[in-house]
Amino acid sequence: MRTKNKLVLAALCALCIPAARAARDIPFTPPDDLVALDRALDYGRARLIAVQDAGRYKTLESFSREAMHAMTGAEHLPKLSPIASALEWIFNSRQYVDAPVILVKPQGLRVHFTAHMPENDDARRRILASGFMTQREFFSRVVQQRKNELAPRAEMNSAMRKVSDAEQVAAALDEMVRLVPPPAEDHASLWHTPQELAPNLAPPAPDGNPRTELGPRVAGISQAQAQSVLLPWASLRAAWLERDAARVQQNLDRLAAALPKLAAPGVYPAEPQRQAEARYYAMGKFTYGWTVYFVAALFSVVALVSGWKTPRYAALALLAVAMAWHAYGVALRWHILGRIPVANVFEAVMAASWAGIALAVLLELVYRMRIFLVAASVTGFFSLIMAQFVIPGGGTITTIQGILDDVMLRIHTVLIVFSYALIFLAAVIALFYLFGYYFVKWPTQSAEAGLITGFAGAALFAISYFAFTRAGLGDAASGYAKGAHVPLAFGGAAIACGAWLALLAARRTSAAALVSASALLLATGATAVGSHGFVRLLAILMLSGGFGWALLTLLGTVLRSRLGEESLALAPAGAGSAPVRAVLSRPIMAGGAPGDETQGDKLPTWLHHFDWCHLILLNLVFVMLFVGTILGAVWADYSWGRPWGWDPKEVFALNTWIVYAILIHVRFLVTERGLWTAWLSIGGCLMMAFNWIFVNYFIVGLHSYA
């Protein structure tokens, strides 16, 4: 048995390291002398220069990363550091008028911006394929005119905002580098670019008044102070263009020493805070821990299914490593901001997921059910994947609105986002419960349902090729337009499928027929009302989820036939399909809602364990959602003058709590309590996701910042 365990673990280790998503390749090769210059420089002091941008102070390095990301989709140009990329663009951007580095990400805008180009033009093909445009192409009269025509269109708002950010960096990065602090003691005072100090160098006119030929002088900055900035800045520019590493280094260090001296006491950000921010950005905002969570999830599943101790210990060790990395990132952001990091979606996902994972690991150490290990690992994996690849903005550090800087609101926000993390943890356990339930009771029908769902996903993917076509000049930013008759045709089909599903449910027909009708209803409804991206995503989820479900059911059947039912332990105390004989082993935190322990149709012990673990999280969710919603109403009452305003976020937050209120009480009314609870938990998670994603990004309301 030990040999078999070692072989399984060795195979797991060989397969468990996923490949990171390839970065978008920028079709740009920097000059060799520029690459050599960059590698010869030490940015240790220069990277900590403070820059005022987007309403807050940031380091020169983080400013460079954000600026380059806005223009190119990456934090630096190929083979260059972020600071070198920004300085080259500030000092030498005219040399790259024909370099394709300006990213137009929305597919539809690429169509609009290339409509005037010949069909077989190489530049047009490049832009449509990669999205990268040159300065000459992007700032041409035709493209700028088309951009101005599209800007007022509501459906283009999000896409045009991204393009405007890229345009601002490409055209005026030198005007964005506000690194000269004014002498005023007000932290909100506007900082200056080096060029704005030029009038301060001019001697007074003969009549004693300041000269105005070069523009207005910056108040409070003497001629000597202006020289301390402008002379090294001008020397830096000249040395940079000459690729003189020694002079570049000298002038970068001079600027780093001179700029803090211009600020009033207490205004310039403290060096430890600037070092923390530079480290935070350099480490990719600590989102790369998803790789460790992924490996931990694989070991957790093996520990759950096999009952072996070694993979459980390995999963715990990997979770400890991932959580330490994750916690350091959250703590570092907290230190940089000076407040708890839950003010936007990125911060909430990072902080709440860590807290939820920590609770799950604590419960695992107390109850040793192993399912908590799986839930914690999966939650960590998906939360960091979302933070790195999905959430708009890429985790850029932003300021918080003054009205939101309130203790009561922070408590409300922490409770709500923490409950959302527990909702996802509970949904993971619910999914495993559903798989185990159907695997135990109806394995053949379960595999059939998976296959039907998978084939329906494949059919939906194929339908998307016919229902959507490449966008024309009047279509949306997605790059695809829905056929004129598609909404009506597929809407009617969805209604018919819904009626068919209701008829089948009333007649208590076979599971295969019910799943088929449900899959058709989902596919036709999504095609009727969804966008091209949504339909494709749903198709991929149905295809991969359905076939994966069927494959895992088949694999479980094979393992059970080879090892025997009693040998397939899915929990430490699990014993095949033996019934639970004593309710006393049920954890106190699972609450007093009735379970399935006394039902005549016996379930295996490990399914009861899953149900109990599920209830522990659901009870916490129910209480925290309720308290968090009440505290939000209290804060709204003294901040906005009313406790409730039927804002979309308020409504769907209440709907989420109602789902869990129903979930808790439905256990007193049904017989298959664990099954009903699992399905309602999945529904509650979908409601939470809709509230946190769709309402945040697509519905305008008072909570659009959240």
The Cα 648–Cα 443 span in angstroms is 42
Average of per-residue pLDDT across 325-353: 92
Our CA dihedral for 420, 426, 431, 433, rounded to 10 degrees, sits at: -170
Q: What is the mean pLDDT of the chain?
A: 85
The Cα 694–Cα 690 span in angstroms is 5
pLDDT of 593 reads 72
Per the listing, tokens 């030929």 go with 213
The Cα 230–Cα 227 span in angstroms is 5
Confidence of residue 567 (pLDDT cuts 50, 70, 90): very low
The Cα 519–Cα 533 span in angstroms is 18
Helix 407-441 vs helix 371-385: crossing angle, to nearest 10 = 120
pLDDT of 601 reads 56
pLDDT of 99 reads 95
Confidence of residue 154 (pLDDT cuts 50, 70, 90): confident
pLDDT of 558 reads 81
Q: Determine the 3-state secondary structure of 468 from DSSP.
A: strand
Q: What is the pTM of this model?
A: 0.87
105: nearest Cα among 72, 76, 82: 72
Given a cut of 90, whether residue 699 has pLDDT beyond it is no
The Cα 110–Cα 138 span in angstroms is 11
pLDDT of 578 reads 39
Average of per-residue pLDDT across 156-169: 88
